[in-house]
Structure 1
Amino acid sequence: MTQTGTLQLSSSSAVALKGGDTSTFTQVTFPSPFPRGSTVIVVPFVQTFAGPDTPGLRIADVTVTGFKIRMNELAGSGKALSDGTHTSETVGWIASTV
């Protein structure tokens, strides 16, 4: 089973640097839940080029009903490489079971 979708995603927050803190993530719900007990994988990709800085994406908490996503401009060695704010971009995603 495979599902796809798009969403408009932006960032008004600083670059997230603390693993596990999903307080600034956006919840995405699959059009149809995957079967209970499934292992789900999600592959997102930015579809547009609206902002000048590289819009990194972070995924968290993937379940059979959805996932959390955040635009997180680049970070390296535990430090932000930009201010973190980013204009709205279209993000496409594909989700499937293993």
Structure 2
Amino acid sequence: MSTPSGVPSPGSRHWAHRSTRPSRTCFLAAHSLGLGSVLTTRWKAREAEVRPLLGLPETMAVHAIIPLGYPAERMGKNRRRAASEVTYRERFGTPWN
């Protein structure tokens, strides 16, 4: 089931999967600009209040919101391990080098 533009509709089983790539891109772009971001679904508990604040039409299905903003404090360096430490080539245990 797709919309006229070919994008899977929220009722299809592919909708959630197809929405993850734009979300990840948004997070990476925000980070590169020094912005903080988070995907949240907590707003659903207060949907009746949030929907009019954002001007969301009743015909739109929204499953998550990604707030963006400048952090109040400096977060420091990312502590993520290098990809070469946590991934392998072709078979488990085979390093990339």
Shorter-chain TM-score range: under 0.3
Structure number, greater radius of gyration = 2
TM-score (norm 2): 0.26
More helix by share: 2
| Higher normalized strand content (fraction of residues) | 1
